[in-house]
Amino acid sequence: MDKKRLVYVCEGGDCSEKGSIELHADLAEMLREGDKEGKNRLRKYPCFGGCEHGINVVLFPDRVFYSKVQKSDLPEIVEHLNGEGKPVERLTGCVAKDVEQIVWDLLDTGF
Amino acid sequence: MALLLTRPQDAEPEGLQEYLDFGGYKALAKVRATSPAEVVAALREADLRGRGGAGFPAWRKWEMGLQAEGEQKHVVVNGGEHEPGSRKDRFLVARYPHRVLEGAAICAATTGASSIVLYLIEDMTDAIESANRAIEEATAAGYLAGLSVRVALAPTTYVAGEETAALEVIEGRKAWPRKKPPYPGQAGLYGQPTTVQNVETLAWVPGIVRNGAGCFRPGAMLCTLDESFARPGIYEVPLGTTLRALVEDFGGGTKGGRAVKAILPALSSAFLPASALDTPMTHEAMRAAGSNLGCGGFSVIEEGGCVVERALSIAEFFKTSQCGQCPPCRMETATIAAVFQKVAGGQPGEYAAQVEKITAFTKGKGNCSLIEMAAAPALSALRLFPEDFEAHARTGRCPGQ
């Protein structure tokens, strides 16, 4: 069974306007360099419904929902992804609880 | 016998004199001499419903317009027929402009409006030309006395046909639906009471007023049959006609001559299976069958055809056509399209649960009904034709291939 953590970057309209595609590429580069053990798998996601709080990045199965992510936040995010430290608290808790919940429900299906 | 499409399909636009010979503008004169309440009662008796897709009773909109208080009231003729596969409104304005105009003038006389805006999509060149000519003719002949009548152009973007998005466009802003309430009947154009009514709905009104509501019952609707039928075109279809008769008698059967596998009353409606072909075309019966009459832009899928590909193309249409205003709508349309892309590409798994969950979450959210419109074809396709999806998810190909 695949135990890797999934790291989703939203590629929806709002997030991509805010630069999510570039952020995804930067994150991919940083994980290539830093994630030597291959703990994480980076993916794009169609839309997390938290458009006004983009760029949204979601960690699963950790159930961490980062919002308002900027390039300058990536070193801290990657540090956690590489197994050091905790999730970046200040980037969490932005979106409504029901939006978070539907995202977990959808990701739980494993599709 | 046709009540609305009384002229040959390829006839030139109906000019004022021809319309007067047909009895045109007599209904308007009659309305101006009677009480507005009688007109509302006639529409109620005729059971005329909105033909833009929602099927809302016309009399209730008119009554709201009549009862609304305001120094100035408006009528907006909604020709924002953006639904792919529907062409009946542009056809009516292009070929029968005076019937639409008289219907709008009757609505204005009934509700107490002093302005009429004909809202037409900017690419409907023949309809725009026809509307402008009819306004000139009717104004010169004095039929529009006391009314300000003008054409306003809609962008081609899908959401611009939603009634409050239409008001935004007419006021010079982008086509984003408004939060409701207030409804246009309360606070519409420039915040003033406005009756927004679809082109076809208004085109039925002069006949109902002139000949009496009884002549309209059981009523009829215009349907646009697309290229999936042997005889595509715009037809006047009596309400109560079965879907089977629509396909066979009007459409000449399917294009390829095979049996019907699924029928779609409009892009934004739910699919119905072949077992529902004996459903009569009434609002109630179609709802009971699990779909609706929509705007009557029908298409069929024949036996051997693939529901997944059609559902995917519809999902992609809604993903790119949603206006971007409401996050739940973005999320739903993007999710459905992504899920169907994966299925079409051959990825098995919990795709149906994804669509069920996201549509349950978004139901009732957003400023307009696009969320429901995108959900209906997706959910019905999955529920009615699971074997098509399973085959696609397993092999990445249509089951028939």
pLDDT digits (tens, 9 = 90+) for B145-154: 999 999 999 9
Residue B9 pLDDT greater than 90, yes or no: no
Neighbour-count burial of B198, counting CB atoms closer than 10 A to its CB (0-12 exposed, 13-18 middle, 19+ buried):
buried
ipTM: 0.92
Please give the Cα distance from B3 to B219 (Å, whole number).
9
Residue located via tokens 């994966």:
B342
pLDDT tens string B158-204: 999 999 999 999 999 999 999 999 999 999 999 999 999 999 999 99
User: B16-215, what's its fold?
Assistant: Rossmann fold (3.40.50)
Question: Mean pLDDT, to the nearest integer, of B115-122?
Answer: 98
Tell me if A106 and B334 make a contact (CB, 8 A cut-off).
no
Tell me if B331 and A105 make a contact (CB, 8 A cut-off).
no
Structural element, H or E, at residue B88: helix B88-95
Q: Which of B324, B330, B337 faces A49 most closely, judged by CB atoms?
A: B330
Q: Which of B312, B319, B330, B331 to mutate to test the interface with A (most CBs of A within 10 A)?
A: B331
Query: What is the reported pLDDT for A35?
Result: 85
Find chain A residues with C-beta within 8 A of B350's C-beta.
109-111
Find chain B residues with C-beta within 8 A of A111's C-beta.
339, 342, 347, 349-351, 353-354
Tell me if A102 and B351 make a contact (CB, 8 A cut-off).
no
Tell me if B324 and A13 make a contact (CB, 8 A cut-off).
yes
Q: Which of B331, B337, B342 faces A49 most closely, judged by CB atoms?
A: B331
Contacts of B284 (CB under 8 A, 6+ apart): none
For helices B351-362 and B386-395, give the axis angle rounded to 10 degrees.
130
Residue in B closest to A47 by C-alpha: B331
Query: What is the reported pLDDT for A36?
Result: 83
Tell me if A48 and B351 make a contact (CB, 8 A cut-off).
no
Please give the Cα distance from B176 to B74 (Å, whole number).
20
Question: Mean pLDDT, to the nearest integer, of B16-36?
Answer: 96
Residue B399: which pLDDT band, with cuts at 50, 70 and 90?
confident
Please give the Cα distance from A58 to B145 (Å, whole number).
62
For residue A12, give its domain range: 5-108
Query: What is the reported pLDDT for A1?
Result: 39
User: B307-395, what's its fold?
Assistant: de novo design (two linked rop proteins) (1.20.1440)
Nearest to B100, CA basis, from B190, B14, B171: B14
Q: Which of B324, B328, B338 faces A49 most closely, judged by CB atoms?
A: B328
Contacts of A37 (CB under 8 A, 6+ apart): A83
Residue B104 pLDDT greater than 50, yes or no: yes
Across chain A, mean pLDDT equals: 93
Tell me if A111 and B354 make a contact (CB, 8 A cut-off).
yes
Residue A6 and residue A43 in contact, taking contact as beta carbons nearer than 8 Å: yes
Find chain B residues with C-beta within 8 A of A12's C-beta.
330-331, 334
Question: Mean pLDDT, to the nearest integer, of A74-78?
Answer: 95
Tell me if A51 and B358 make a contact (CB, 8 A cut-off).
no
DSSP per residue, B102-130: HHHHHHHHHHT--EEEEEEETT-HHHHHH
Percent of chain A whose pLDDT exceeds 70: 98
Query: What is the reported pLDDT for B401?
Result: 63
Query: What is the reported pLDDT for A83?
Result: 87
Query: What is the reported pLDDT for A37?
Result: 84
Residue A25 pLDDT greater than 50, yes or no: yes
Question: Mean pLDDT, to the nearest integer, of B79-87?
Answer: 96
Q: Which of A67, A106, A107, A108 to mutate to test the interface with B (most CBs of B within 10 A)?
A: A106
Query: What is the reported pLDDT for B353?
Result: 96
Structural element, H or E, at residue B245: helix B243-245
Q: How many CA atoms lie within 13 A of B33 on its CB side?
A: 8
Find chain B residues with C-beta within 8 A of A13's C-beta.
324, 330
- Measured in angstroms, the CA of B334 and the nearest CA of chain A are apart by 6
Nearest to B56, CA basis, from B201, B239, B207: B201
Tell me if B337 and A46 make a contact (CB, 8 A cut-off).
yes
Residue located via tokens 């409606």:
B269
Phi, psi dihedrals of residue B187, rounded to the nearest 5°? -140, 95
Question: Mean pLDDT, to the nearest integer, of B131-142?
Answer: 98
Q: Which of B329, B330, B341, B347 to mutate to test the interface with A (most CBs of A within 10 A)?
A: B330
CA angle, B85 as apex, B79 and B90 as ends, to 5°? 30
- Measured in angstroms, the CA of B332 and the nearest CA of chain A are apart by 8
CA angle, B8 as apex, B3 and B12 as ends, to 5°? 115
Nearest to B3, CA basis, from B303, B204, B175: B204
pLDDT tens string B221-277: 999 999 999 999 999 999 999 999 999 999 999 999 999 999 999 999 999 999 999
Residue B180 and residue B342 in contact, taking contact as beta carbons nearer than 8 Å: no
A interface residues, B as partner, C-beta within 8 Å = 12-14, 46-52, 98-99, 102, 105-106, 109-111
Percent of chain B whose pLDDT exceeds 90: 96
Please give the Cα distance from A47 to B334 (Å, whole number).
6
Q: Which of A13, A98, A102 faces B330 most closely, judged by CB atoms?
A: A13
Q: Which of B327, B328, B349 faces A111 most closely, judged by CB atoms?
A: B349
- Measured in angstroms, the CA of B243 and the nearest CA of chain A are apart by 37
Alpha helices in B322-385 (DSSP H): 327-344, 351-362, 370-384
CATH of the domain at A91: 3.40.30.10
Query: What is the reported pLDDT for B180?
Result: 93
pLDDT tens string A43-74: 999 999 999 999 999 999 999 999 999 999 99
Domain count, chain A: 1
Query: What is the reported pLDDT for A90?
Result: 96
The domains of chain B are located at 16-215, 220-302, 307-395
Nearest to B313, CA basis, from B84, B81, B82, B70: B84
More confident residue, B90 or A35: B90
Across chain B, mean pLDDT equals: 96
Q: For the structural domain made of B220-302, what CATH number should be given?
A: 3.10.20.600
